[in-house]
Structure 1
Amino acid sequence: MPSQGVSVSLDPLALRYLDHVRFEKRLAERTCTLYRLDLERLSAMAAEASVALTAVQPIHIRRWVAQMHSAGRSGRGIALILSGWRGFYTWLGREGRVSSNPVQGVRAPKVAKPLPKALGVDEAVQLAEHEEAQDAPWLEARDAAMVELLYGCGLRVGELTGLDVVPSDTALQQGRGWVDLQAGEVQVQGKGGKRRTVPMGSQALAALERWLAVRSQVTGMLNAPVPGASSASLALFAGRHGTRLTAQSIWQRLKRRSLLAGLATPVHPHMLRHSFASHVLQSSGDLRAVQELLGHANITTTQVYTRLDFQHLAKAYDAAHPRAKRKG
């Protein structure tokens, strides 16, 4: 099997195809180089099997996919190679050199979907209870409230940045959410314009009240709607200049806070959403409720957290059950 550093003599048809993608389709040079590597790999495998490129059958392609997979190539890498081969045989079909595309029905091995990263309960509490003495009091109050809403309510970072202090006609028109302190709820505008109501826990509510007590003093922003108020002036979370915080700013603040809190892994906003879902599911076992809290349209999206929950149970079993430990 050729490596990237070895040049393989290519069939004239393969060379014509490379000219086609370079000059007629005008693909980028890097893409053309990758196509050539794919065709070198195909040519080497066909030569080893003593079969002409125009005589390759689906059984050959499947065998070569299995060889690449057993050699350690990832499913994603194989899928990219198959895409290159599929394009070559599509072109051969248009040129009248093959009657069918041998790659058409072949798929790469499925890539194992990685589990979402979630903090342990102790780590999440450690982050939420951390107080940063180096920051100004108002900045600490703001960041603490952001952490409590991300972890305590399972919000997406875009939902967090879109929160206003109060409801307004502008918020409704522009698809933003708001907090309802009296009801202890967050009104969220989620994906696909879907609105949902998320309850706030006592810690999130207390943190939010501390932030709102200093918010208007620091940023000069409004805590009540007025006619013609701008989106920025009603933003729940704002920076020093009174502008609505961006998702990037929240990522940076959360990463900094997690490192200062002594966590081994830098934390990002979606990790707190995963942690929220995993911890609620561990405690309640109510998958449907977690689906509603997260705003998932399909429960299959939520079911990934059952795998996280099983990992938690498996670790507890391995640590505690006398028959789980191997002798010696």
Structure 2
Amino acid sequence: MTLVTQAPASSLDPIQLVLDSVTSPLTKAAYRTALTGFLGWWTEQGSPPLSKAVVQRYVTVLVADGRSSASVNQRLSAIRKLVREAADNGQLGIFEAESIARVKGIKKQGQRTGAWLSRTQAQELLLAPDVSTLRGLRDRALLAVLLGCGLRRSELVNLTFEHVQQREGRWVVLDLTGKHGRTRTVPMPGWCKAAVDAWITAAGLSTGHLFRPTAPRGSKVLARSSLSHEAVALIVRKYGTQVGRSNLTPEGVSLAPHDLRRTFAKLAHKGGAPIDQIQLSLGHASIQTTEVYLGVDQNLENAPCDVLGLSLKGG
């Protein structure tokens, strides 16, 4: 299939052009899904010449289907990337690509803050794995790193022994490369390091990736170098269900790895950690993003109206 409207024909796969231009496995998967859906719809429409009007029509279809603003905007981001790559490789005219890139996304109404656990729930989750088994030791260490360091799922699966170092008298995850290539160092609590040590000692690991797949019965480590993103999600969901947190929201969304990242931020903030230090641990470019993770609790004991400094006595 070709996207050409005015430029010479090309045999290059338009989706592969986009996938080759990004590095994150999660971004590749999201873009593949988004572009497969768009190009499927486009083909059903008779493959009309790509234009701003065609993409705007597709956005209207997505909204009519009940897609959230985040879902629509993610798909639109993939389409923008597609037309830019297609234009750069002679599959689409420059004018069409630039006009499509100007298609506006859907404005978000409010801000979804996601889900997080209370301290009691987080503690229960941490103690849920059966540590008499090798797999249970691994799962406890995995949950400990997600809760204790606030790592993203992609960061966890790429975590290696070289990342865990001592600096200034404490254990840290050193020079971790996260989203958008930003590098940071994340402090690691002692109980988290203890959980990791118990796992790697039992597994006989000393180099390479920290978290590995285990045999079906959890009796030994498999040869594969690291866990998959899907495996991490399944592990978190499993123990979330086990401790009665399978439905964290009214929509019935299961416990996810990112919820533990939010939990790290929420518990740290409640414990008195400065928000700028939480931001550094999470690797957020903007403190506003960190504030979204924290959410806002209404405090009726110390309300804003109590500090206005006004009274009926005057003076």
Above 0.5 in TM-score? yes
CA–CA distance in structure 2, aligned partners of residues 210 and 245 of structure 1: 18
Map of 1:271 onto structure 2: 259
Q: What SS does the corresponding residue of 1:303 show, helix, strand or coil?
A: helix
> Could you tell me which of 213, 223, 234 is aligned with 1:239?
213
Written as runs of structure 1 = structure 2, the 5 A alignment for 1:29-178 is 35=57, 76=69, 110-132=108-130, 137-165=133-161, 167=162, 178=163
Higher helix share: 1
CA distance in 2, matches of 1:137, 1:105: 53
C-alpha change, 1:184 and 1:75, in structure 2 (3 Å) is: closer
In 1, the alpha carbon distance for the partners of 2:275 and 2:239 equals 31
Aligned residues: 210
Amino acid at match of 1:268: A
Aligned partners of 1:75 and 1:109 also within 8 Å: no
Q: Deviations over 1:195-218 (max 9, x none)?
A: 2111111210111111111122xx
| SS of residue in 1 equivalent to 2:193 | helix
Structure-2 separation of matches of 1:205 and 1:304: 28
Q: Give SS of 2:192's match.
A: helix
Q: Is 1:260 matched up with 2:227?
A: no
Q: Deviations over 1:247-279 (max 9, x none)?
A: 111111111122122324332111000000111
Q: Percent identity?
A: 24
Distance 2:302 2:288 in 1: 26
Report if the CA contact (8 A) 1:74-1:111 is conserved.
Answer: no
User: 2:279 aligns to what?
Assistant: 291
* 3-state DSSP of counterpart to 1:184: strand
Per mean C-alpha deviation after superposition, the further-off stretch among 178-187 and 276-285 is 178-187
Equivalence for 1:206 = 194
The separation in 2 between residues aligned to 1:114 and 1:141, in whole angstroms, is: 33
Contact 2:246 2:255 in 1 (8 A): no
Shift of 1:242: 2.5
Aligned-CA RMSD value: 3.9
- How far does residue 26 in structure 1 lie from its aligned partner after superposition? 7.5
Q: Deviations over 1:13-62 (max 9, x none)?
A: xxxxxxxx7464289xxx89x959x79xxxxxxxxxxxxxxxxxxxxxxx
What secondary structure sits across from 1:197 in the alignment? strand
Letter in 2 for 1:238: R
Secondary structure of the residue aligned to 2:139 is helix
Q: Structure 1: any 5+ residue segments left out of the alignment? A: 1-20, 40-67, 84-103, 168-177, 225-233, 319-328
Report if the CA contact (8 A) 1:281-1:305 is conserved. no
